[in-house]
Structure 1
């Protein structure tokens, strides 16, 4: 069988609510890797966090991180970054309404305001690794500019002012200095201009010379829609939002019910799992 190129979102897709990959999913993916199929995680997480999940599958699993801003092709790392002009715009726009911003490097989280409890506790495994310099406070625009060469992408989160968040998203989109998306109703994902998961996938597909009919993607969030629309075989998880399911050619079981493994088992006609 000719090799397929397979991309999997992480949160809500590959892992469960405790950041674990099920035994069945890992077993099916590892078997297909042994047969020569190529697997990527494709996520909004920063690179080092995504790489940690990829390595729990196998050393051969590759990474698309920061919503397509950084990705690996074999040993080569391709990186796109938010421009200094985009960072200044973001900081000034958000300062007017005092929402927290988080900027991500390959290994570091830069934050304004105060670091929320959920970042230091329940989301710890998702955003950082124990061996890293974890968090750096940004207290002024000058601080941000000092670190601008380290920053790849970012996210704005509001648990209370959803109307203000919506208006801010429109303003940032209209600037034409960056791309914006959302993985959840309460956030704005800040991405380098012209970049998303789909642009990374198309570049990888072109480099590896694998046709669209042999490219599969799995996702559950709004920021997965471009990816699903760009791949020949697109699969929404059973727990995905309606818009995401409408963008996919197939819907599988939820991330808590081995959705990835069940689809791959059926698609590749695997009988011994």
Structure 2
């Protein structure tokens, strides 16, 4: 069979709530890699966290991180960043509402409010000996802008304040300085202008000369929408949001029921 390029979101797709990849999923992916198919994790996570998860599969798994802002192809790492104007607009728009902002470098989390427990536990992984802090507090727009060369993307997270998030998202959209998405109703993902998971896929596709019909993608959230649209074979997880299921060509089992592995077995075997 022709070699395929396969992209998998991480949270809610590749892993369960305990951040575990099932033995069945790992076995199926490894077998297909040995047959020449190329696998990527494609996530909103920072690069070092995504890289660590890819390594939990095996060393042949590549990375699209920060919602397409960072990706690797042919052993070269490509990176796009939020502009200084975008960072200033985000801070000025969001800070007066006292909504928590988090910005991500390749390894560092920059934060404006207390770090929630799940972020401290779930997103503190990094490449060892990278020489950067794990977490850095941002208390002013000047401090944020002084870190601009290190910041790739960001997120606003607010539980039970979805109306305010909607207002902020509309205000930021009007400024036309960045791309916006949401992996969950409680957040706004802040991405460099014109960038998403699909733009990374298209660059990788072009570099590897693989036609769209041989691209498979798996996702569960709204930040996976463009990725699925850029793929010839789009697969929504059984636990995906309804909007994604409506756009996907296929729906598989949930992330806790080996949805990725089950689809791949049926598709390739």
- Deviation at 1:174? 1.2
Q: 2:72 aligns to what?
A: 72
Q: Secondary structure at the match of 1:106?
A: coil
Q: Secondary structure at the match of 2:97?
A: coil
- Deviation at 1:127? 4.4
**Cα pair 2:47 2:106 within 8 Å, conserved:** yes
Q: 1:138 aligns to what?
A: 138
**Cα pair 1:103 1:153 within 8 Å, conserved:** yes
Q: 1:244 aligns to what?
A: 244
Residue 162 (structure 2) pairs with residue 162 (structure 1): yes
Aligned residue runs from structure 1 range 8-87, under 5 A: 8-87=8-87
Q: How many angstroms apart in 1 are the aligned matches of 2:12 and 2:172?
A: 27
Q: 2:257 aligns to what?
A: 257
**Cα pair 2:183 2:189 within 8 Å, conserved:** yes
Q: Secondary structure at the match of 1:96?
A: helix
Q: Can you give the 5+ residue segments of structure 1 that lack an aligned partner in the other structure?
A: none
**Cα pair 1:68 1:199 within 8 Å, conserved:** yes
User: What per-residue deviation string (whole Å, max 9, x for no partner) do you get for residues 124-170 of structure 1?
Assistant: 23343384621000011111011000000000011132111100001
User: What per-residue deviation string (whole Å, max 9, x for no partner) do you get for residues 156-207 of structure 1?
Assistant: 0111321111000011111110000000001000000000000100110011
Q: Can you give the 5+ residue segments of structure 2 that lack an aligned partner in the other structure?
A: none
**Cα pair 2:107 2:127 within 8 Å, conserved:** no
Pairs aligned (count) = 266
Aligned match for 1:129, one of 126, 130, 144:
126
Residue 3 (structure 2) pairs with residue 6 (structure 1): no
Residue 216 (structure 2) pairs with residue 219 (structure 1): no
When structure 1 is superposed on structure 2, of 161-170 and 180-189 the one drifting more is: 161-170
**Cα pair 1:64 1:72 within 8 Å, conserved:** yes
Aligned residue runs from structure 1 range 71-220, under 5 A: 71-120=71-120, 124-129=121-126, 131=128, 133-220=133-220
Q: How many angstroms apart in 2 are the aligned matches of 1:27 and 1:155?
A: 33
Instruction: Name the TM-score, length of structure 1 as normaliser.
Output: 0.95
Q: How many angstroms apart in 1 are the aligned matches of 2:113 and 2:236?
A: 35
Q: Secondary structure at the match of 1:18?
A: coil
Q: How many angstroms apart in 1 are the aligned matches of 2:27 and 2:160?
A: 41
- Deviation at 1:23? 0.2
- Deviation at 1:235? 0.3
**Cα pair 1:62 1:74 within 8 Å, conserved:** no
Q: How many angstroms apart in 1 are the aligned matches of 2:151 and 2:71?
A: 15
Q: How many angstroms apart in 2 are the aligned matches of 1:117 and 1:48?
A: 19
- Deviation at 1:248? 0.5
**Cα pair 2:212 2:232 within 8 Å, conserved:** yes
Q: How many angstroms apart in 2 are the aligned matches of 1:215 and 1:190?
A: 26
Q: Secondary structure at the match of 1:45?
A: coil
